[in-house]
Structure 1
Amino acid sequence: MPPSGNLPLTAMIMEKDISLHVLYQNKFSTISGIKSFMNTVCAWIFTDIFQHMMGIAPQVVLNQPLVIPGFPHPLFGNVTIVPRAMDHDFPIGGLWGWHPCNNVTEDERTLFLTFSRGFLVSEDEIREVFTRIRGVCVENVHMRDNVHSGEQALFGRMVLRSVTNVDQAWNGRRVAKYRVNGKHIWARKYERRE
Protein backbone atom coordinates (compact mmCIF):
# COMPACT_ATOMS: atom_id res chain seq x y z
CA MET A 1 0.00 0.00 0.00
CA PRO A 2 1.36 3.45 -0.88
CA PRO A 3 2.30 5.81 2.02
CA SER A 4 -0.53 8.15 1.00
CA GLY A 5 -3.13 5.61 2.18
CA ASN A 6 -4.70 5.48 -1.29
CA LEU A 7 -5.83 2.15 -2.69
CA PRO A 8 -5.19 2.51 -6.43
CA LEU A 9 -6.45 -0.93 -7.51
CA THR A 10 -9.65 -0.57 -5.47
CA ALA A 11 -10.10 2.98 -6.82
CA MET A 12 -9.69 1.70 -10.38
CA ILE A 13 -12.29 -1.05 -9.87
CA MET A 14 -14.75 1.28 -8.10
CA GLU A 15 -14.05 4.10 -10.58
CA LYS A 16 -13.68 6.60 -7.72
CA ASP A 17 -11.03 7.54 -5.18
CA ILE A 18 -10.94 5.13 -2.28
CA SER A 19 -8.50 5.45 0.60
CA LEU A 20 -8.04 3.86 3.99
CA HIS A 21 -9.20 7.17 5.48
CA VAL A 22 -12.51 6.96 3.58
CA LEU A 23 -13.00 3.35 4.73
CA TYR A 24 -12.24 4.33 8.34
CA GLN A 25 -14.64 7.30 8.23
CA ASN A 26 -17.35 4.91 6.97
CA LYS A 27 -16.27 1.97 9.12
CA PHE A 28 -19.69 0.77 10.23
CA SER A 29 -21.23 1.11 6.76
CA THR A 30 -18.28 -0.84 5.36
CA ILE A 31 -18.59 -3.63 7.94
CA SER A 32 -22.38 -3.85 7.43
CA GLY A 33 -21.93 -3.94 3.66
CA ILE A 34 -19.40 -6.78 3.88
CA LYS A 35 -21.64 -8.74 6.28
CA SER A 36 -24.62 -8.26 4.00
CA PHE A 37 -22.61 -9.26 0.92
CA MET A 38 -21.33 -12.40 2.67
CA ASN A 39 -24.85 -13.42 3.81
CA THR A 40 -26.54 -12.75 0.50
CA VAL A 41 -24.36 -12.85 -2.58
CA CYS A 42 -21.51 -15.07 -1.31
CA ALA A 43 -23.81 -17.43 0.57
CA TRP A 44 -25.77 -18.00 -2.66
CA ILE A 45 -22.85 -18.34 -5.05
CA PHE A 46 -20.27 -20.14 -2.93
CA THR A 47 -22.48 -22.57 -0.98
CA ASP A 48 -20.54 -25.59 -2.28
CA ILE A 49 -17.20 -24.00 -1.38
CA PHE A 50 -18.43 -23.09 2.13
CA GLN A 51 -19.64 -26.68 2.62
CA HIS A 52 -16.29 -28.07 1.45
CA MET A 53 -14.37 -25.64 3.65
CA MET A 54 -16.42 -26.67 6.71
CA GLY A 55 -16.03 -30.39 5.89
CA ILE A 56 -19.77 -30.87 5.38
CA ALA A 57 -20.94 -33.50 2.93
CA PRO A 58 -22.58 -32.07 -0.22
CA GLN A 59 -25.63 -34.28 0.33
CA VAL A 60 -26.66 -32.14 3.31
CA VAL A 61 -30.42 -31.66 3.42
CA LEU A 62 -31.34 -28.91 0.99
CA ASN A 63 -32.91 -25.70 2.31
CA GLN A 64 -31.56 -26.28 5.87
CA PRO A 65 -29.61 -23.24 7.11
CA LEU A 66 -25.93 -23.78 7.80
CA VAL A 67 -24.30 -21.21 10.11
CA ILE A 68 -20.58 -20.57 9.74
CA PRO A 69 -19.46 -18.71 12.87
CA GLY A 70 -17.26 -15.64 12.54
CA PHE A 71 -16.36 -15.98 8.86
CA PRO A 72 -14.04 -14.60 7.55
CA HIS A 73 -13.42 -12.76 10.84
CA PRO A 74 -15.48 -12.55 14.07
CA LEU A 75 -15.99 -8.83 13.37
CA PHE A 76 -18.33 -9.77 10.52
CA GLY A 77 -20.43 -12.16 12.59
CA ASN A 78 -21.87 -15.43 11.31
CA VAL A 79 -22.51 -16.29 7.68
CA THR A 80 -25.71 -18.24 7.13
CA ILE A 81 -25.91 -20.28 3.95
CA VAL A 82 -28.82 -22.36 2.76
CA PRO A 83 -27.79 -25.26 0.50
CA ARG A 84 -29.93 -25.22 -2.64
CA ALA A 85 -30.25 -27.40 -5.70
CA MET A 86 -27.90 -26.40 -8.53
CA ASP A 87 -30.85 -25.31 -10.69
CA HIS A 88 -32.32 -23.06 -7.97
CA ASP A 89 -33.16 -19.51 -9.13
CA PHE A 90 -31.77 -16.40 -7.49
CA PRO A 91 -34.19 -14.19 -5.56
CA ILE A 92 -36.29 -11.55 -7.32
CA GLY A 93 -33.98 -8.79 -8.53
CA GLY A 94 -31.31 -11.33 -9.36
CA LEU A 95 -27.87 -11.43 -7.90
CA TRP A 96 -27.14 -7.79 -8.65
CA GLY A 97 -30.33 -6.61 -6.95
CA TRP A 98 -28.27 -6.79 -3.73
CA HIS A 99 -27.69 -3.60 -1.76
CA PRO A 100 -25.56 -3.30 1.42
CA CYS A 101 -28.38 -1.65 3.38
CA ASN A 102 -30.88 -4.47 2.80
CA ASN A 103 -29.81 -6.68 5.70
CA VAL A 104 -28.71 -4.32 8.46
CA THR A 105 -29.75 -5.31 11.98
CA GLU A 106 -31.00 -2.85 14.58
CA ASP A 107 -27.82 -3.35 16.63
CA GLU A 108 -25.74 -2.20 13.64
CA ARG A 109 -27.73 1.06 13.58
CA THR A 110 -27.52 1.72 17.33
CA LEU A 111 -25.41 4.12 19.39
CA PHE A 112 -24.81 3.77 23.13
CA LEU A 113 -25.33 7.12 24.90
CA THR A 114 -24.07 8.27 28.28
CA PHE A 115 -25.06 11.46 30.11
CA SER A 116 -23.56 13.76 32.74
CA ARG A 117 -24.67 13.00 36.28
CA GLY A 118 -26.89 15.74 37.66
CA PHE A 119 -28.18 16.95 34.28
CA LEU A 120 -31.38 15.19 33.29
CA VAL A 121 -31.41 14.57 29.52
CA SER A 122 -34.77 13.74 27.97
CA GLU A 123 -35.55 11.65 24.90
CA ASP A 124 -36.82 14.81 23.19
CA GLU A 125 -33.50 16.57 23.81
CA ILE A 126 -31.60 13.61 22.36
CA ARG A 127 -33.79 13.65 19.25
CA GLU A 128 -33.43 17.43 19.02
CA VAL A 129 -29.62 17.47 19.06
CA PHE A 130 -29.22 14.68 16.51
CA THR A 131 -31.98 16.01 14.24
CA ARG A 132 -30.46 19.51 14.33
CA ILE A 133 -26.97 18.21 13.48
CA ARG A 134 -27.71 15.19 11.23
CA GLY A 135 -31.26 15.74 9.97
CA VAL A 136 -34.13 13.32 10.56
CA CYS A 137 -32.08 10.25 11.45
CA VAL A 138 -33.38 8.99 14.82
CA GLU A 139 -35.69 5.98 14.67
CA ASN A 140 -35.98 5.27 18.39
CA VAL A 141 -34.47 6.17 21.78
CA HIS A 142 -34.35 3.64 24.63
CA MET A 143 -33.58 5.09 28.06
CA ARG A 144 -32.67 2.92 31.05
CA ASP A 145 -36.01 1.66 32.39
CA ASN A 146 -35.19 0.86 36.02
CA VAL A 147 -34.73 4.50 37.07
CA HIS A 148 -36.77 5.58 40.11
CA SER A 149 -38.99 8.65 39.93
CA GLY A 150 -36.93 11.83 40.03
CA GLU A 151 -33.66 10.03 39.23
CA GLN A 152 -31.70 10.48 36.07
CA ALA A 153 -30.89 7.80 33.52
CA LEU A 154 -27.13 7.70 33.08
CA PHE A 155 -27.22 5.90 29.75
CA GLY A 156 -29.45 4.94 26.85
CA ARG A 157 -29.47 3.56 23.32
CA MET A 158 -30.43 5.40 20.17
CA VAL A 159 -31.45 3.51 17.03
CA LEU A 160 -30.76 5.46 13.84
CA ARG A 161 -32.47 5.02 10.48
CA SER A 162 -29.37 3.71 8.71
CA VAL A 163 -25.86 2.54 9.40
CA THR A 164 -24.67 5.54 7.38
CA ASN A 165 -26.19 7.75 10.11
CA VAL A 166 -24.05 5.86 12.65
CA ASP A 167 -20.90 6.69 10.67
CA GLN A 168 -21.98 10.34 10.44
CA ALA A 169 -22.74 10.61 14.18
CA TRP A 170 -19.57 8.77 15.15
CA ASN A 171 -17.49 10.77 12.62
CA GLY A 172 -14.41 8.57 12.90
CA ARG A 173 -13.92 9.11 16.62
CA ARG A 174 -14.01 6.47 19.34
CA VAL A 175 -16.50 8.60 21.30
CA ALA A 176 -18.47 11.49 19.81
CA LYS A 177 -19.40 14.34 22.15
CA TYR A 178 -22.59 16.36 21.78
CA ARG A 179 -24.19 19.11 23.80
CA VAL A 180 -27.84 20.12 24.18
CA ASN A 181 -29.12 22.86 26.50
CA GLY A 182 -25.77 22.87 28.29
CA LYS A 183 -25.93 19.10 28.92
CA HIS A 184 -23.36 16.65 27.61
CA ILE A 185 -24.13 13.48 25.64
CA TRP A 186 -21.39 11.01 24.72
CA ALA A 187 -22.11 8.57 21.89
CA ARG A 188 -20.24 5.46 20.84
CA LYS A 189 -21.11 2.45 18.72
CA TYR A 190 -23.42 0.07 20.58
CA GLU A 191 -22.10 -3.44 21.21
CA ARG A 192 -24.58 -5.98 22.56
CA ARG A 193 -23.37 -7.71 25.72
CA GLU A 194 -24.64 -11.23 26.31
Structure 2
Amino acid sequence: MRNRILIVLALVFLSACDNKTKSSITQQPTLADYSLGEKWVWKYKGVTTEGEVRSDGTDTREVVKFGEVLGMTIGKDTIPVTDIVKPDESKTPKYDWPLEVGKKWKYENNWTSQDGTTGNQSQDAEVLSYREETVEAGTFMAYTIKYTGKTTNSRGYSADETEIWLYAPSVKNFIKLTQNQGDFRYVEELIEYSK
Protein backbone atom coordinates (compact mmCIF):
# COMPACT_ATOMS: atom_id res chain seq x y z
CA MET A 1 0.00 0.00 0.00
CA ARG A 2 2.80 2.41 0.93
CA ASN A 3 4.51 1.80 -2.43
CA ARG A 4 1.28 2.62 -4.29
CA ILE A 5 0.93 5.89 -2.37
CA LEU A 6 4.55 6.82 -3.22
CA ILE A 7 3.96 6.01 -6.89
CA VAL A 8 0.77 8.10 -6.96
CA LEU A 9 2.57 11.01 -5.25
CA ALA A 10 5.46 10.72 -7.71
CA LEU A 11 3.05 10.77 -10.66
CA VAL A 12 1.23 13.81 -9.26
CA PHE A 13 4.57 15.60 -8.76
CA LEU A 14 5.79 14.74 -12.26
CA SER A 15 2.47 15.83 -13.72
CA ALA A 16 2.72 19.16 -11.90
CA CYS A 17 6.29 19.63 -13.15
CA ASP A 18 5.21 18.75 -16.67
CA ASN A 19 2.41 21.34 -16.56
CA LYS A 20 4.88 23.93 -15.27
CA THR A 21 7.09 23.39 -18.28
CA LYS A 22 4.35 23.48 -20.90
CA SER A 23 1.54 25.79 -19.83
CA SER A 24 3.15 29.22 -19.77
CA ILE A 25 2.37 31.84 -22.39
CA THR A 26 4.45 35.03 -22.47
CA GLN A 27 3.52 38.30 -24.15
CA GLN A 28 6.08 40.76 -25.50
CA PRO A 29 7.43 43.11 -22.79
CA THR A 30 5.96 46.62 -22.68
CA LEU A 31 7.50 49.98 -21.76
CA ALA A 32 6.08 49.65 -18.22
CA ASP A 33 8.14 46.47 -17.70
CA TYR A 34 11.46 48.39 -17.86
CA SER A 35 12.92 50.52 -15.10
CA LEU A 36 15.67 53.14 -14.91
CA GLY A 37 19.00 51.55 -13.96
CA GLU A 38 18.06 48.03 -15.07
CA LYS A 39 21.23 46.37 -16.32
CA TRP A 40 22.30 43.20 -18.18
CA VAL A 41 25.87 41.95 -18.66
CA TRP A 42 26.74 38.99 -20.91
CA LYS A 43 30.08 37.31 -21.53
CA TYR A 44 30.68 35.95 -25.01
CA LYS A 45 33.23 33.83 -26.83
CA GLY A 46 33.45 32.62 -30.41
CA VAL A 47 35.90 29.90 -31.40
CA THR A 48 36.52 28.01 -34.66
CA THR A 49 36.83 24.23 -34.73
CA GLU A 50 40.58 24.85 -35.19
CA GLY A 51 40.67 26.70 -31.86
CA GLU A 52 41.03 30.24 -33.26
CA VAL A 53 39.30 32.71 -30.93
CA ARG A 54 37.41 35.22 -33.09
CA SER A 55 35.53 37.02 -30.34
CA ASP A 56 35.90 37.17 -26.56
CA GLY A 57 34.52 39.81 -24.23
CA THR A 58 31.49 41.24 -22.47
CA ASP A 59 28.41 43.11 -23.61
CA THR A 60 26.48 45.45 -21.32
CA ARG A 61 23.05 46.98 -21.73
CA GLU A 62 21.48 49.44 -19.32
CA VAL A 63 18.24 51.40 -19.10
CA VAL A 64 19.11 55.10 -18.84
CA LYS A 65 17.40 58.47 -19.08
CA PHE A 66 17.39 59.44 -22.79
CA GLY A 67 16.10 62.97 -23.08
CA GLU A 68 12.57 62.80 -21.69
CA VAL A 69 12.19 59.03 -22.14
CA LEU A 70 13.86 55.77 -21.12
CA GLY A 71 16.63 54.55 -23.40
CA MET A 72 18.75 51.45 -23.54
CA THR A 73 22.49 51.55 -24.10
CA ILE A 74 23.60 48.99 -26.70
CA GLY A 75 27.31 49.29 -27.35
CA LYS A 76 28.00 52.96 -28.06
CA ASP A 77 24.39 53.63 -29.07
CA THR A 78 21.37 54.51 -26.96
CA ILE A 79 17.94 53.73 -28.37
CA PRO A 80 14.53 54.57 -26.91
CA VAL A 81 12.96 51.64 -25.06
CA THR A 82 9.78 52.42 -27.02
CA ASP A 83 11.65 51.19 -30.13
CA ILE A 84 12.59 47.95 -28.36
CA VAL A 85 9.01 47.18 -27.28
CA LYS A 86 7.43 48.23 -30.58
CA PRO A 87 5.58 45.21 -32.04
CA ASP A 88 7.52 43.56 -34.89
CA GLU A 89 5.23 43.69 -37.92
CA SER A 90 7.44 41.26 -39.86
CA LYS A 91 5.96 37.97 -41.05
CA THR A 92 9.33 36.39 -40.15
CA PRO A 93 10.24 37.85 -36.69
CA LYS A 94 13.02 36.85 -34.29
CA TYR A 95 10.43 36.25 -31.56
CA ASP A 96 6.86 35.42 -32.58
CA TRP A 97 4.83 36.75 -29.63
CA PRO A 98 3.24 35.39 -27.56
CA LEU A 99 5.80 32.70 -26.76
CA GLU A 100 4.56 29.25 -25.78
CA VAL A 101 5.93 25.73 -25.91
CA GLY A 102 5.37 24.06 -29.28
CA LYS A 103 5.05 27.29 -31.28
CA LYS A 104 6.86 27.30 -34.66
CA TRP A 105 7.60 30.08 -37.15
CA LYS A 106 10.03 31.22 -39.84
CA TYR A 107 12.70 33.83 -39.01
CA GLU A 108 14.45 35.81 -41.72
CA ASN A 109 16.92 38.65 -41.36
CA ASN A 110 18.74 40.73 -43.97
CA TRP A 111 21.70 42.70 -42.66
CA THR A 112 24.65 44.90 -43.58
CA SER A 113 27.86 44.79 -41.53
CA GLN A 114 30.09 47.78 -40.77
CA ASP A 115 32.37 46.93 -43.71
CA GLY A 116 29.44 46.95 -46.16
CA THR A 117 29.03 43.17 -46.45
CA THR A 118 25.37 42.20 -46.85
CA GLY A 119 23.92 38.94 -45.65
CA ASN A 120 20.84 36.89 -44.96
CA GLN A 121 19.68 34.50 -42.27
CA SER A 122 16.79 32.14 -42.93
CA GLN A 123 15.79 29.89 -40.05
CA ASP A 124 12.97 27.69 -38.79
CA ALA A 125 12.21 28.44 -35.14
CA GLU A 126 10.51 26.31 -32.50
CA VAL A 127 9.88 26.80 -28.76
CA LEU A 128 11.02 23.51 -27.26
CA SER A 129 10.46 24.01 -23.52
CA TYR A 130 9.79 26.37 -20.63
CA ARG A 131 11.68 25.40 -17.48
CA GLU A 132 14.28 26.52 -14.96
CA GLU A 133 17.65 27.23 -16.55
CA THR A 134 20.82 28.17 -14.67
CA VAL A 135 23.45 30.58 -15.99
CA GLU A 136 26.17 32.53 -14.21
CA ALA A 137 23.68 35.32 -13.35
CA GLY A 138 21.33 32.88 -11.58
CA THR A 139 18.43 30.52 -12.19
CA PHE A 140 15.47 31.70 -14.27
CA MET A 141 12.37 30.23 -15.85
CA ALA A 142 13.23 30.35 -19.55
CA TYR A 143 12.00 29.30 -22.96
CA THR A 144 14.36 27.20 -25.05
CA ILE A 145 14.00 28.35 -28.65
CA LYS A 146 15.80 26.44 -31.39
CA TYR A 147 16.58 28.12 -34.72
CA THR A 148 17.91 26.02 -37.62
CA GLY A 149 18.75 27.26 -41.10
CA LYS A 150 21.39 28.95 -43.18
CA THR A 151 23.43 32.15 -43.22
CA THR A 152 24.86 33.58 -46.44
CA ASN A 153 26.67 36.81 -47.32
CA SER A 154 27.77 38.85 -50.31
CA ARG A 155 31.37 37.61 -50.01
CA GLY A 156 30.32 34.05 -50.90
CA TYR A 157 30.02 32.73 -47.35
CA SER A 158 27.32 30.12 -46.78
CA ALA A 159 26.87 27.95 -43.70
CA ASP A 160 24.22 25.84 -42.05
CA GLU A 161 23.56 27.00 -38.52
CA THR A 162 21.81 26.00 -35.34
CA GLU A 163 21.10 28.47 -32.55
CA ILE A 164 19.65 27.75 -29.12
CA TRP A 165 18.31 30.83 -27.34
CA LEU A 166 17.22 30.71 -23.68
CA TYR A 167 14.75 33.59 -23.23
CA ALA A 168 13.78 34.49 -19.63
CA PRO A 169 10.60 36.60 -19.31
CA SER A 170 11.61 37.87 -15.85
CA VAL A 171 14.66 39.64 -17.32
CA LYS A 172 12.97 40.46 -20.65
CA ASN A 173 15.94 39.11 -22.55
CA PHE A 174 17.92 36.05 -23.47
CA ILE A 175 20.09 34.52 -20.75
CA LYS A 176 22.12 32.26 -23.04
CA LEU A 177 22.80 31.85 -26.74
CA THR A 178 24.65 28.90 -28.25
CA GLN A 179 25.33 29.17 -31.98
CA ASN A 180 26.98 26.63 -34.28
CA GLN A 181 27.64 28.05 -37.76
CA GLY A 182 29.82 26.00 -40.06
CA ASP A 183 33.20 25.70 -38.33
CA PHE A 184 32.39 28.41 -35.75
CA ARG A 185 30.86 28.04 -32.27
CA TYR A 186 29.66 31.09 -30.35
CA VAL A 187 28.34 31.17 -26.77
CA GLU A 188 26.93 34.21 -24.96
CA GLU A 189 25.74 33.94 -21.34
CA LEU A 190 24.17 36.40 -18.90
CA ILE A 191 26.58 36.92 -16.01
CA GLU A 192 24.84 39.82 -14.24
CA TYR A 193 21.32 41.22 -14.05
CA SER A 194 20.13 43.98 -11.75
CA LYS A 195 17.13 46.30 -11.42
Larger Rg: 1
What's the TM-score, normalizing by structure 1?
0.22
Higher helix share: 1
